[in-house]
Structure 1
Amino acid sequence: MMLDEPGNWGRWGADDERGALNLLTPETVVAAAGCVREGRALSLSLPIRGATSSPAPTTVPHLRGRPLPQHFMSVDGGDYAAGARAIGAGLRMADDALVVTPHGTTTHMDALCHMWSGDRLYNGHPADRVRSYGATRCGIDKAGPVIARGVFFDVPAVRGLSHLGARDRVEPADLEACLDGTGVELRAGDVAVIRTGWPLVWREEGPDGYWAGQPGLSADAGRWLAERDVCVVASDNAAIGGLNERQLADEDLADDLHMILLWRHGIHLVEMLWLEELAEAGRIDFLFVAAPLRIEGGTASPVNPVAVL
């Protein structure tokens, strides 16, 4: 493995394509279910608004230049050639067609084949198995459902802010401060859910403010989470790590968050969450449920994560 840093390659065997999701044993899932105390479920996803049917470019956070979702409906025959079809006496139906590029435009889960270095994917699988027709190794279809304990890190709250600034980076001390006095400690197989509050900037300042950069985890914070054996890192920003005004990471390869988490440790990433209702709920631990679509060879899948309180 390049860059001489410990990781999870070989930990679950040479053929492993699920990475840290292997930590979700039946016992871990049963223990996670014990976090359900209210029976209340909160969606943690942003809406999918097709650029053909609503003003998505001005209403939904996304990365500049990424293709927006395209949503076509057949209900009036104007958007979609099929038109509304009659079914029996007086009954009608509408069909949908949806084209989505998950990275940067929707709440989504990254597959382990999404990024790599040299000629190897996570766990040493050959990178040439990622082709234009899909990835035959480490695709999102290998992930399966995620049912785990979620642990919430509301970083702006502990800093006394509504949201972090564009150049802010979340450090291990911030993560520790979020748990201080709560009685909650990270366990193997947990999902770390990190709030930056950055989607609020889209509402308050519009696209230009949102695109001025993004806060995110520092490399040391990513390593801190990996050392504690989380199975997923999820955040409300677009790249887990921070971005500059060109929407690129400033870190070098050794400190890139995708390389640290996805490539070295096999930790799946969930990006572009909406965490404001969860912040208002005041819960630190909860049952986290998310199921990526079984897109064979996909580098990502749209998801609608749910926090069950």
Structure 2
Amino acid sequence: MSGNPGDAPAGTAGGARGGAPAGRPDNGPAVSRQEFDALFASVRTWGRWAEADRGAWNGVTADHARRAAAAVRDGTVVPMARPWDTRPGPDNAKPALHYMSDLGDVQAPEPSVHKDFLAADYHGKSVTHLDALSHIAYRGQLYDGRAARESVDAAGARFGAVSALGPLVTRGVLVDLPAVLGVDWLEPGRAVHARDVVAAQEALGVTIGDGDAVLLRSGALRRRRELGPWNPDTASAGWHVDALPMLAERAVALLGGDGDSDVRPSPVEGVHSPVHALAVTAMGVPLLDNLDLEPLSAACAEAGRYTFLLVVAPLNVPGGTGSPVNPVAVL
């Protein structure tokens, strides 16, 4: 079975054109711009930290990393990056580049070498990456009220760069909602609400706490592999904005998922990525986009627990608004 309870079985969902979702999206309730701005103000943490461009990661201490490491039991290591995707598709409008720059043709002196070139316009729907605090502005402001036009220019970000974050190590929590609901995946367009988090915590035996990295599995990669790709800009499962106050109250430090965290279509009029604005710009919480959470889902189910040590090491790019990453969970 796939999607929400009552949806068509896996293999019949998605309509006639590959993996394109069919039917009316369950992305509501709708939120007005006025309601969204009030929500933005309610979760905002501007002025809280001296090192503002680290945002919520100021609250993650060495003790958080120590406790997460101490909870490792069998040492199972699960990488979460998708393969480097060089093939164009409805969910990969700007394919990553990979080509060989040296095939070892020079015969002397030894040894011969092989070299390759990598590049990516990674802020899309295919490359697994980390969003730094300079990536998202709302009403012309970055996190902490910094003026976006004064903080980011053609040379990069002078505030909120990914290089300010450094390696991120803390406890990860997998909110495996398809496992909770007994389905293969959430249909694109399905919003995840605060009540879903409450149900997931009870079903999975976890409690989200301060400094945690919360990873939402919608099953998007499983759906893609079984039904084919679709355009996630048009429809994707993800957080509804009504879940963010609860996550803010828990003082989470990182959000991520097998999409880009936002439910699409957006339920907020005039705001295409409201969860990005709330998390990154209001709360100072970086985002992990486009994870492959299928192996982690299987590993957590086998281990009977949904918490783990999470390690994310972004590239050290001064002025970068993010970085491709290969996050690793250790159970």
Q: TM-score, normalised by structure 2?
A: 0.81
Deviation at 1:251, TM superposition (A): 2.1
Q: How far 1:275 sits from its partner (Å)? A: 0.7
Conserved 8 A contact 1:149-1:191: yes
Aligned partner of 1:79 in structure 2 is: none
1:146 to 164, 168, 177: 168
Partner of 2:189: 167
Q: Give the 3-state SS of the residue equivalent to 1:258 in structure 2.
A: helix
Report if aligned partners of 2:43, 2:245 keep a CA contact under 8 Å in 1.
Answer: no
| Separation in 2, partners of 1:109, 1:84 | 37
Question: Equivalent of 2:136, from 115, 118, 121?
Answer: 115
Give 5+ residue unaligned stretches, structure 2. Answer: 1-36
> Which of residues 11, 19, 37 in structure 1 aligns to 2:55?
19
1:74–1:84 contact (8 Å) kept in structure 2: no
Report if aligned partners of 1:195, 1:235 keep a CA contact under 8 Å in 2: yes
Contact 1:202 1:209 in 2 (8 A): no
CA shift digits 1:241-287 (9 cap, x unpaired): 1123xxxx342349810111000000000010001111111231100
Whether the 8 Å CA contact 1:201–1:210 is kept in 2: the answer is: no
Q: Distance in 1 between matches of 2:324 and 2:62?
A: 25
Cα offset, 1:119, TM superposition: 3.1
C-alpha deviation, 1:5, in angstroms: 2.5
Change (3 A) 1:115 1:87: farther
Q: 1:272 aligns with which of 278, 290, 294?
A: 290
Q: Percent identity?
A: 34
Structure 2 counterparts to residues 295-306 of structure 1, below 5 A: 295-306=317-328
Identify the residue that residue 41 of structure 1 maps to in structure 2. 77
1:87 and 1:232 mapped to 2: Cα distance? 50
Picking from 308, 311, 318, the partner of 1:286 is: 308
Contact 1:48 1:69 in 2 (8 A): yes
Aligned to 2:88: 57
Q: State whether structure 2 residue 278 is matched by structure 1 residue 241.
A: no
- Mapped to 2, the partners of 1:219 and 1:153 lie a distance apart of 16
What letter corresponds to residue 37 of structure 1 in structure 2? R
How far did residue 35 of structure 1 move? Answer: 2.0
The 2-side partners of 1:229 and 1:136 are apart by 26
Deviations along 1:211-246, one digit per CA (max 9) or x if unpaired, are: 751111110112221221010001001x201123xx
**Residue 272 of structure 2 corresponds to residue 251 of structure 1:** no
Structure 1 residue corresponding to 2:68, chosen from 4, 8, 32? 32
Unpaired runs of at least 5, structure 1: 77-82
Separation of aligned partners in 2, 1:255 and 1:302: 20
> What amino acid is aligned across from residue 74 of structure 2 in structure 1?
E
Shift >6 Å, 4+ stretches: none
Corresponding residue for residue 146 of structure 2: 125
SS of 2:311 mapped into structure 1 = strand
Label 1:233 to 1:287 Cα distance change in 2 as closer, same or farther (>3 A). Answer: same
CA apart distance, 1:87: 5.9
Q: Does the 8 A contact of 2:220 with 2:258 survive in 1?
A: yes
**Number of matched pairs:** 286
Q: Does 1:213 align with 2:235?
A: yes
Give the alignment partner of residue 176 of structure 1, picking from 186, 194, 198.
198
| Residues 139 and 299 in structure 1, CA contact (< 8 A), matched pair in contact too | yes
- What is the rounded CA distance, in whole Å, between the counterparts of 2:165 and 2:107 in structure 1? 40
Give the distance between the partners of 2:108 and 2:275, measured in 1 at CA: 51
For residues 133 and 305 of structure 1, do their structure 2 counterparts lie closer, same or farther at Cα, with a shift above 3 Å needed? same
Distance 1:109 1:72 in 2: 24
